[in-house]
Amino acid sequence: MDREVESSKESLHPLTKSPKTIGHYEVKELIGKGGMGEVYLCYDPKTERDVALKRIRPEMHGIPLIRQRFLKEAKIAAQLTHPAILGVYSIEENFQDLFYIMPFIQGKTLKTLLASYRQSKASTIHLVRDFLTICHAVQYAHSKGVLHRDLKPENILIGPFNEVLIYDFGLAEYADMNEESFDDMPVLKSHPDLTRVGKIVGTITYMAPERILEKLDSVQSDIYSLGVILYQILTLKHPFKRQSVKQFKQQAQEEKILDPIDVAPMREIPPLLAKIAMRCLSFKKEHRYQNLKEMISDLEQYFEGKADWVFAARLDPKNPSDWELQETVVLKQTKDWAIYMLSSTLFPGNVKLEAHITLEKGSEGVGFLLGVAHRMEQKGLDSGLTVWIAPNQVRLLRAGIVLKTLCAPQVQEGVSLEIEIEKLYESIQLKIGGKTLFVVPIFLPVTGAHVGLVYKDLQFKMKSFSVSCGSYNARIGCLTIPDTFFANGLYEKALEEYKKISHSFERRSEGLIATFRSGLTLLELNRTDEAFEAFEKLHKTQKGILEWLGKGLSYRKLHEVVEEAKCYEIALNLFRNDAQLILIEEEILFRLEQSKEEGRLGPYLFALIVLKYHLLPKNTPAIHELLQTLEVPPCIDLKDGESLIAFYLMKTKTLETLGQKEALELIENLHNPNHPLVIQFYDWLAKPSLTTTPQHAFGASTAPFSHFPTLRELIDKHSKKGRTIPLQQFLPLELALLKNL
């Protein structure tokens, strides 16, 4: 025991009065001194490295509660193992001393760096990436149940190799003292630099209002402190001036925080970052980010080059001057009449719509239009995107065709809804009440720049409707110029710009998207062979799925629907685990409806893919509508709709996979009039039809689409002289039968 006490005694430097050693560590210099502890740079002879040693101040050593607090700080830091949190190697305690060992990082605090930038007036935008690292570290601490409670630039260290480290967890998650225990400790009263735990802890200029006014700590309190730090990084100024706790309590409601851009108009401050800082600094914590995941998502949006939104216009449905077009139209799929309103202002590029609406009893909803071309350029609703908000349901449409339908229980009659729709350069996103309902990629360029509204009834109230336009960073913004040329039909100029971007950003995302869009531009110029070559360049790249989308569009241009469908099916097989597969799936669903206007073969080809890859439920009306025109021969057992369509398309491999042996045998012997199955099949065809609408067990009967004739009606019309039917209204089986008659 005596030896242990003796070994803990320290020898002092004669001039500095600093100890020469602490334990077995050789003291080099005193780095800093705080309320409870002091930090030394030491050399560890056992590991032969420099370390930082923090020990409890000698005059505090005999106070049990201070020892407990100091030890708790060490243990919290030791349990947080994150690259951006200064770790703890070991904790050492004996009768005479208490200290812990940390890595020694030779760097500067963020406070020191910001001071140097104030003198040089240099840009600090690069520090935002370090700030994102800090946010990740604090998010990790929160996940472990730890609130830092003293986040500020002097507690953030940035090393010479860009190491970013948070330290000093001395105030983390403490609530172990009260006013009575403070009053019982005269040593604490004699040291006013010590934090009074149980009272207000931390640094007032970084404290959230509720910590000062209500002594409440939460995740949002740390987020507030981070907001102050981001504000300083952007402006090199403090968002407010607080002299004391008393002064703040008296003037809390009068404290105003100016937008960073207004405070430092000469500095480089992206609007998105200013918006993030201001949200963090909201007086009420419920108006701040509710967790760091949300905040980090917005910061990453900045680094990914997504839009910074700038208010562009406020549209009023009752103000005629806001609208270029107001007329009644017929909706493509439902054939219902609707009011169609198109903005008088163009909004090219990235666009965000924000609205507050309330759907009243009996309302069928409201559609928000984006990227719509003028009716003289295209067929109004046949261009652009529509997000339809209806009770319990939202739908995404392209060119008037439903691509996606989602349940939305939050959309109820009589409930005020906060709608937010963002159309970015490669996706469209819908939020209702701040919650994301969908994010859908859109790599096909939108050809118009109008926004608007479409609705079937007046059973809704719209409190506000505003439009914001998005700015870009250098990488993503480069696509804006050729996209604008493309949208205005200046295809040669668009092609030239797309090619420049493809070359400048070779094998990178924006370069590959430019290559894809150059292919689309070549299709508009009717240079199909060159378009195929452009899409081929995407082979085995991160955007490889666009190769097959582009080739499918090329075959559509050539009116080769069979080859088009093959391209999409190849993509479904090659990229089955790719997050961007939705591009192909949405295109197939789009073509399932759109191809009905072109002929009969296309819809059945896409319907077969939909069924084979389970892109829609089997009982969906779109599939039933097609099945109603296909009669089921009684001589063969077709198990489901997929088998029936495959039979009429003469898809032998599909029939074999589905186990349809009789159907496969019939198709393979269709040229043999003596085969028993073929004889039965022709006998069935020769009998008069009992009904004009085929009946089968694949779903409820609906009206045949576009009045396409049934199989026996086709045969009957073909046999009558002077009656002809266009070839696109025949399926492969029907054509084969007509050749044999």
Write out pLDDT tens, residues 449-502. 889 999 999 999 998 899 998 765 544 567 778 887 887 789 999 999 999 999
Mean pLDDT of 40-69: 91
**192 — phi, psi (to 5°)?**
-65, -10
Give the per-residue pLDDT at 332: 67
Highest-confidence segment of 9-18, 334-343, 572-581, 690-699: 572-581
Residue pair 652/659 in contact by the 8 Å Cβ criterion: no
Give the per-residue pLDDT at 250: 80
Give the per-residue pLDDT at 558: 95
Mean pLDDT of 44-58: 94
- Catalytic residue positions, numbered: 150
493 vs 9: which has the higher pLDDT: 493
**Each residue's pLDDT tens digit, 209-261:** 988 888 888 899 999 999 999 999 999 999 988 878 888 888 877 788 999 98
Give the per-residue pLDDT at 542: 86
Enumerate long-range contacts of 20-27, CB under 8 Å, 24 or more apart.
Answer: 22/53, 22/55, 22/97, 22/99, 23/92, 23/97, 23/99, 25/51, 25/53, 25/101, 27/53
Do β-strands 323-330 and 337-343 pair in parallel, antiparallel, or remain unpaired? antiparallel
E strands within 501-594?
Answer: none
Cβ atoms within 10 A of the Cβ of 735, count?
Answer: 14
Q: Which helix (H) or strand (E) holds 405?
A: strand 401-408
CATH 1.10.510.10 domain span(s) along the chain: 108-303
Residue pair 406/490 in contact by the 8 Å Cβ criterion: no
User: What is the CATH number that goes with domain 312-471?
Assistant: 2.60.120.560
The mean pLDDT of the chain is: 83
CATH 2.60.120.560 domain span(s) along the chain: 312-471
Residue 325: which of 339, 313, 341, 314 has the closest Cα? Answer: 341
Residue 643: which of 622, 617, 625, 661 has the closest Cα? Answer: 661
CATH 3.30.200.20 domain span(s) along the chain: 2-103
Least confident of 94-108, 676-690, 695-709: 695-709
Residue 255: which of 266, 243, 269, 267 has the closest Cα? Answer: 243
108, β-bridge pairs? 158
CATH fold label, 108-303:
Transferase(Phosphotransferase); domain 1 (1.10.510)
**591 — phi, psi (to 5°)?**
-75, -25
Q: What superfamily does domain 477-740 belong to in CATH? A: Tetratricopeptide repeat domain (1.25.40.10)
pLDDT at 528 over 60: yes
User: What is the CATH number that goes with domain 2-103?
Assistant: 3.30.200.20
Whose structure tokens read 């026996």? 712
CATH 1.25.40.10 domain span(s) along the chain: 477-740
- Residue 622 — very low, low, confident or very high, per pLDDT cuts 50/70/90? confident
